[in-house]
């Protein structure tokens, strides 16, 4: 079964638009997490950014207390955030780029450039019982480097696929890269997640990608929730995701 991790960052984005710096306010990301889990989500994802643009420190500690499924903390590989993660002990961290020099041309983490420090962080996380995922473009060299780092998971960046969804030729090209990347990662012993830009329309097309464990989806769920409510938005995404069978 393909799992759904609900990214609740944009619930906090709406709250911060009105209540920044006040330490309270609505809508509450923890409530979004609870409703997502009750609706059947398999995990909750939140990104504690260095600039604290949406999720705040208090949110991650409250999430840690309340999440009953799996807590995936998205984070930069920076000393401040690594120290927080080691104390917080989420189930898994997904290391993502936040600064220009950490990003490949396609927007994923440049694992090759940061192999040494990513390996150190992976070792620290492993010692604390935290799994590690690396958010990367479906680039063969980045996938090989991710295996060398010793991460348990990669999360394939589906942003280019989503961006070109309405251009048949480009979309097919991006889809093929995701298919090849998933096969390569699987052959190297990596587990494969995917995310970014997935929505109610394009997610079924991702079914052609083999070996997928989990999709992390945020913006489209939060957007739909504005009109139909969070519970229905999550249930509708789970319904879209039903029936995934890894192609051979
Ligand atoms: N996965 C990762 C690593 C991300 O950084 C994001 C965006 O925060 C997502 C998934 C979710 O993307 P979206 O909000 O477009 O669904």
| Spans of all domains in the chain | 3-241
From 10, 42, 47, 54, active-site residue = 47
Residues 101-115 pLDDT 10s: 888 888 999 999 999
3-state secondary structure of 139: coil
Which residues lie across from 71 on neighbouring strands? Answer: 44
DSSP helix/strand/coil, 89: coil
Evaluate: CB of 198 within 6 angstroms of ligand 1: yes
- Can you tell me which atom of ligand 1 is nearest the CA of 196? 12
- The average pLDDT across 140-158 equals 98
Per-residue confidence (pLDDT) for residue 99, from 0 to 100: 87
pTM of the model: 0.97
Is the minimum distance from the CB of 94 to ligand 1 under 6 angstroms? yes
Distance CA 193, CA 74 (A): 13
Greater model confidence, 99 or 11: 11
Mean pLDDT of the chain: 97
Please identify, by atom number, the ligand 1 atom nearest to the C-alpha of residue 155.
3
Beta-carbon contacts of residue 191 (< 8 Å; ≥ 6 apart): 152, 153, 154, 185, 211, 213
Confidence at residue 128, expressed as pLDDT on a 0 to 100 scale: 98
Residues 24-37 have a mean pLDDT of 98
Q: Is the CB–ligand 1 distance for residue 195 below 6 Å?
A: yes
Query: Is 74 known to be catalytic?
Result: yes
Candidate from 154, 195, 202 with most ligand 1 atoms within 8 A of CB, to mutate = 195
Domain 3-241 has CATH 3.20.20.70: yes
Q: What average pLDDT does the segment 11-31 reach?
A: 97
54 is catalytic: no
Residues 6+ apart with CB under 8 A from 52: none
Summarize pLDDT for 177-208 with one digit per residue, the tens. Answer: 999 999 999 999 999 999 999 999 999 999 99
Nearest CA owner, ligand 1 atom 11? 196
Known active-site residue 24: no
Q: What are the pLDDT digits (tens) for 116-147?
A: 999 999 999 999 999 999 999 999 999 999 99
Ligand 1 atom 12 nearest Cα: 196
* pLDDT value for 119: 98
Cα→Cα distances 213→1, 81, 152, 160, 182, Å:
8, 26, 12, 20, 11
3-state class percentages of the chain: helix first, strand second, coil last, to nearest 5:
50, 15, 35
HEC assignment per residue over 13-29: HHHHHHHCCCCCCCCCH
* Nearest Cα residue to atom 3 of ligand 1: 135
Nearest CA to ligand 1 atom 7: 196
- Which tokens hold the place of 133? 């995922």
pLDDT of 73 higher than 90: yes
Confidence (pLDDT) at 162: 98
Pick from 176, 177, 172, 223: nearest CA to 197? 223
pLDDT the model gives residue 247: 86
Helix ranges, 40-152 (H): 57-66, 79-88, 115-127, 140-149
pLDDT at 248 over 80: no
């Amino acid at each position: 079964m393909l799992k759904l991790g609900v990214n609740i960052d944009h619930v906090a984005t709406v709250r911060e638009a009105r209540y920044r710096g006040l330490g309270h306010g609505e809508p509450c990301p923890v409530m979004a997490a609870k409703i997502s889990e009750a609706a059947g989500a398999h995990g909750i994802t939140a990104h504690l950014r260095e600039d604290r643009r949406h999720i705040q420190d208090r949110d991650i500690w409250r999430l840690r207390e309340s999440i009953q499924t799996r807590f995936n903390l998205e984070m930069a590989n920076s000393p401040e955030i690594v120290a927080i993660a080691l104390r917080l002990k989420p189930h898994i961290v997904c290391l993502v780029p936040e600064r220009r020099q950490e990003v490949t041309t396609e927007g994923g983490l440049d694992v090759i450039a940061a192999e040494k420090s990513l390996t150190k962080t992976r070792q620290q996380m492993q010692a604390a019982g935290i799994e590690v995922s690396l958010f990367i473009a479906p680039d063969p060299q980045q996938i090989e480097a991710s295996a060398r780092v010793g991460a348990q998971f990669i999360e394939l960046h589906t942003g280019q696929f989503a961006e070109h969804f309405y251009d048949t030729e480009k979309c097919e090209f991006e889809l093929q890269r995701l298919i090849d990347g998933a096969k390569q990662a699987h052959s190297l012993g990596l587990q494969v997640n995917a995310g970014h830009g997935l929505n109610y329309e394009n997610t079924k097309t991702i079914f052609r990608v083999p070996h997928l464990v989990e999709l992390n989806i945020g913006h489209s769920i939060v957007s739909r929730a504005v009109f139909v409510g969070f519970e229905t938005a999550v249930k509708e995404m789970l319904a879209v995701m039903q029936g995934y069978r890894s192609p051979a």
